[in-house]
């Protein structure tokens, strides 16, 4: 059983990590906005909307699978947050 100080410290660390990650996402979106506008202007074949629809469908299926598997016991697996540069995940759309 964890002591109260350990629990408070781990909560503070996870909240601080989420705050830094959120600020990183905000900065990334602000910096990438001009590039997004250029990419949308240059999208002659209409690939970006199809890619966004495919990503939305993947996320919907992931949420549905997660909801179905809530009742089943799961093996312990660490959550993948993307590390300290998780806020740069949105840059994968540029490839």
What would the two tokens of residue 45 be? 């074949």
Domain contains 94: no
- Check if the beta carbon of residue 70 is closer than 8 Å to that of residue 12: no
Q: Is 91 domain-assigned?
A: no
C-alpha–C-alpha distance, residues 49 and 89, integer Å: 18
Distance CA 39, CA 28 (A): 16
Dist CA 58 CA 30 (whole Å):
25
What are the tens digits of pLDDT across the range 15-55? 999 999 999 999 999 999 999 899 888 888 888 888 889 99
Indicate the number of domains in the chain.
Answer: 1
Residue 55: inside a domain, yes or no? yes
For the record, the structure tokens of 80 come out as 């993948």
Identify whether 30 is part of a domain.
yes
Range of the domain at 53: 4-71
Q: What is the pTM of this model?
A: 0.47
């Amino acid at each position: 059983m964890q002591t109260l100080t350990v629990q408070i410290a781990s909560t503070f660390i996870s909240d601080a990590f989420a705050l830094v990650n959120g600020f990183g996402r905000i900065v990334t979106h602000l910096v990438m906005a001009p590039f997004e506008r250029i990419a949308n202007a240059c999208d002659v074949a209409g690939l970006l909307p199809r890619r966004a629809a495919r990503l939305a469908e993947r996320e919907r299926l992931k949420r549905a699978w997660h909801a179905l598997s809530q009742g089943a016991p799961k093996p312990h697996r660490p959550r993948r947050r993307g590390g300290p540069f998780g806020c740069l995940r949105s840059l994968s759309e540029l490839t």
